[in-house]
Chains A and B, each alone.
Chain A
Amino acid sequence: MIENLFQRKILIFLLVYLFLTSHINALDFKAYGFIQPETSIYINGDGKHNQDNYNTSLFGKGTFISYLQEGDAKFTISAIGRFDQNDDELRYLDFQKFKYEYYFDDIALKVGNEIVFWGVNETFNIVDIINQSNLAEDIAGTKKLGQPMASISYSQDYGIFDIYLMPYFRERPFSSKEGRPRLLFEVDKNSITYESSAKKHKMDFALRYSAVIEDLDIGLSHFYGNNRTPVLSPNPSTLKFDSHYPILSQTGVDIQATKGPWLYKLESVSAKDGSERHLSAAGGIEYTYYGIRNTQSDLGVIVEYAFDDRNDNPFNNEGVIGLRWSLNDIKSSSLLAGYLFDIRGNSNRFQAEFEQRVNDDLKLFFDVSLNGSIDKADFTYQFKQDSSLTLKLAKYF
């Protein structure tokens, strides 16, 4: 699965480096991970595209961290993988992190695969752009692929500057024909075009300034490179989607104000995608009631709204109301439930995630995803039949 030369070179370099330095320094390391069998039932029966109404899957994650040079350097591997019963695209191994970092006093250097998250929102992460989303894993795009990069971080009292150079682009994975939920057509992996002549070898570039000013956490960012989101167009001869990755130039801002139990969040981007410029903004409020009804449990209420000036964008006028209930018990039981709705249309969806520790190294997850009424014109119409219940059991080691 190390699909390109760049990553392979880094891998070899790091392994040689690690081998050489491990003789000099006592190897100080941490390793941990989990494996997680999952099973899903699709309550509307077979899918729109004859997908199975039942699925099992095995997911795993392993993390290895080695501290080198008396803590001045660090080497990290964090890999995830899945073996899915039905979806070929969900049989993969991904190096989320495979990186070497070196720290000077004010400067940190990093080379390798990394996950970088920008932003503050719970639902609408519009500023976040560094990593490609794995849409086969999660249609909302929250699951990412490790991004190969070299980065420099410079920190001062007034804030931090991060510069990222990304020499290799990773195409977006979509569910395969058997996957569920999936788009109307399959995404044709043999018909991908780029605006950039360097294609996936285009050197993407990003810059971020972030700072904490008392109650405010702020970030300003700029990205120039292949858009992570392709334009999909149906090809009448193959009956598949062709993908085109335009060049994206995106300037973003993200702000969170933390005022006691209130969190105020705002993200906004102005972006030139191909030839078109657009503006989008998303933000919200989160309030937490602590110790409800004289118990240890907390109840958080989250409201977020997303706006996009492109009429064809699926998130052009969307809201979410969420509840986060943490029991703060010995089992760390918690429930996160959200109701997403299109403000202009009448499409809506409900999602909930419950989790509870079973014992020291077992944890149970139960996810519910229900589609309500969905407009035929809505982007999510193609997933209308895909309401599901998923049970997961993670075994930690």
Chain B
Amino acid sequence: MKIYSFLFILILTFNFSSFAETDEEIGLKIAKEAYESTRGYIDSTSEQLMILIDPKGNEVIREISGKNLENMDPNDGDKSLIFFNKPKDVEGTVMLSHTHVNDDDDQWLYLPALGRVKRISSSNKSGAFMGSEISFEDFSGLDYRKYDWKYLGEENYEGELCYKLESYPKYENSGYTKRIGLTDELLRARKIEYYDRKGDLLKTIYFEDHKLYNDTIWFADTFRVVNHQNDNSTIYKWENRQLNIGLNKKDFEKSSLMRLAD
């Protein structure tokens, strides 16, 4: 895989210099290849830990566990289940999402206090997720289909040569107008800067603790999010991530929410 990626990059690099491709075409090509290198996970489970840090250094912990199901449909998004564990007052809450590429997701929430499943509006993909600096939109931020791309050149980052890519959301309710990111030679995102609806720099996500799963897929197991406007930050960690474990597809339907909950 590594050799394949390396060869691919050689070819890409060769392409960049040899043919009159536009920066938009080059950007799209890199983003598409980067995205496709994260596909084929089939399904996954993980535990996720968030540390929310305010400017004074006060920390608050959030814990969830998640299940994901890859959607092989090239025009549609993946499905996910989130089980909320901490803070304790949300324990037992379960959220099901059927994501869509450039449209609102379908989301259902099981609320144990009401014993009720609610279909909720998901037009706020850009809202704060559990009070953190990360939004739902950011979880699918590497999906090349959601953006228009532009290749800006190469840049050194932590001693490695990276592709610098600018991207513009296609989704009308996106919380952003522009992103500028660095993708390394193994096609792993290293950091992305996000510009808000007014065009001001909002936050940076640093992708860290990259780990090669099942010998094929690189995932960053830590997202470090720094908000430049309110000086809050969030450290988002994935733990015990497992891929291709044969989850039941039916678990990712509304009817299974009650069964997966209490």
Contacts and interface: CB of A to CB of B under 8 A. Distances in A.
Interface in B67-95: 86-92
Interface in A325-360: 328-332, 357, 360
Interface string A262-275: 11000000000000
A291 interface: yes
A296 B88 contact: no
Contacts of B123: 260-261, 288, 290
A196 B243 CA distance: 56
Most buried by B among A101, A105, A330, A357: A330
Given A217-B119, A288-B123, A332-B131, A360 B60 contact: yes
A29 to B, nearest CB: 12
Determine the interface band of chain B, counting residues with CB < 8 A from chain A: 35 or more
Nearest to A256: B119
A357 to B, nearest CB: 6
A6 interface: no
B88 A298 contact: no
B77 to A, nearest CB: 15
Contacts of A34: 88-89
Interface in B214-233: none
A101 B259 contact: yes
Contacts of A261: 121, 123-124
- Select the residue from A142, A256, A258, A261 with max chain B CB neighbours within 10 A: A258
A14 interface: no
Contacts of B18: none
Contacts of B61: 360
B262 A103 contact: no
Interface of B: 52, 54, 60-61, 86-92, 104, 106, 112, 114-117, 119-121, 123-124, 126-128, 131, 173, 175, 250, 253-255, 259, 262
In the A-B complex, the 7 residue pairs with the smallest Cβ-Cβ separation, listed nearest first, are: A396-B88, A115-B115, A290-B124, A117-B116, A330-B131, A261-B123, A160-B255
Given A96-B115, A155-B253, A360-B87, 17 more contacts: A32-B88, A34-B88, A74-B259, A103-B259, A108-B259, A115-B115, A120-B119, A217-B254, A258-B106, A258-B120, A290-B126, A296-B128, A330-B54, A330-B131, A332-B131, A361-B88, A396-B88
